[in-house]
Amino acid sequence: MARVAVVTGGSAGIGLATAHLFAARGWSVAILARDPARLAAAEAALRAYGRPVLAIAADVADAAAVDAAAARIEGELGPIRAWINNAMSTVVCPADAITPEEYRRVTETTYLSQVFGTLAALRHMKPRNRGAIVQVSSGLGIRAAPLQAPYCAAKFAVSGFTDALRAELIHDDVAVSLSVVYLPAVNTPQFNWARNRTGHAQQAPDPVFDPRLCAEAIHHAVTHPRREIWVGRSTLMMAAAQALAPGFADRKAAEAWESQLTDAPAPDKAGNLFEPVPGEVGIDGRFGSRTKATRSEFWSSRERDLLVAGLAGATLLGFAGLAALARAPRRLLPRR
């Protein structure tokens, strides 16, 4: 039976890179996004791999639309084996200048879309006791940064929702995996179409990574389920700083204000917050000259756990050795 993967936000950037990777590795793929023209172009490109493809125009902030899409995918492609919640939006602006409507919309598209996608997938996966759900998150969901308060808050909420649900699945002995993939700055078109009211263009702070690296990490989370995956050295450093020295992390995050913006003034952008920005955009953004070429720079929670266990074991052995020395009888040196 064909393996079926669903990718929200699948018509551009990381979502499109992920759809391409799954299709290239023999999966049937369904992509959800808002812009019909961009969906049609993505669908045509994905069909070149010779696997069934289904493109569905839907706003993933609409729970009913997501449920209907899941039912259609099951009917036309077959049982959903993997669901990747990738859709998002943001507003680049100081927190106290962002409107209530903007906060609400970012919450709907970045947090509630993942809730609705997860619940739609579970309705089909739980009866079969099989499947993988991946939440595409960000290093900003571990260590928040200035100018993107609604986005950071939404990504933190994704982690809380996923942890709570994972505990419920463990309690009920349901064999559906839940993974969160935390991403660094990535060279995608998102930086061209995010809503921005700072008076300067948004840019990706270094280091910038390839969307295809993110796709590899997402595919790994499906085929080798892990609780969490961190992509890029910067994400790992953010997680470590937040865990070990949060006050220091606050000060470093404050410095990220300037690194997110260009020096030259630029007009504000309405962006894709409420309506999709039309036009073909593809996978990559405008930071190709600064993009790291690596396709393997990611780490899983299993590797972290093994490292922690190794360090703990070495520490215990060290303490045991010191205790043994303390208990050993002292031998007097012979007098000269």
Q: Which of 49, 111, 151, 182 is catalytic?
A: 151
β-strands 298-300, 185-186: how paired? Answer: unpaired
Q: What is the spatial distance between Cα 197 and Cα 93, in angstroms, rounded to a whole number?
A: 5
Q: Do the beta carbons of residue 10 and residue 42 sit within 8 Å?
A: yes
Q: What is the spatial distance between Cα 150 and Cα 156, in angstroms, rounded to a whole number?
A: 10
Question: Is 151 a catalytic site residue?
Answer: yes
β-strands 228-231, 298-300: how paired? Answer: antiparallel
SS3 labels along 83-105: EEECCCCCEECCHHHCCHHHHHH
Q: What is the spatial distance between Cα 32 and Cα 287, in angstroms, rounded to a whole number?
A: 26
Q: Do the beta carbons of residue 62 and residue 56 sit within 8 Å?
A: no
Catalytic sites, residue numbers? 151
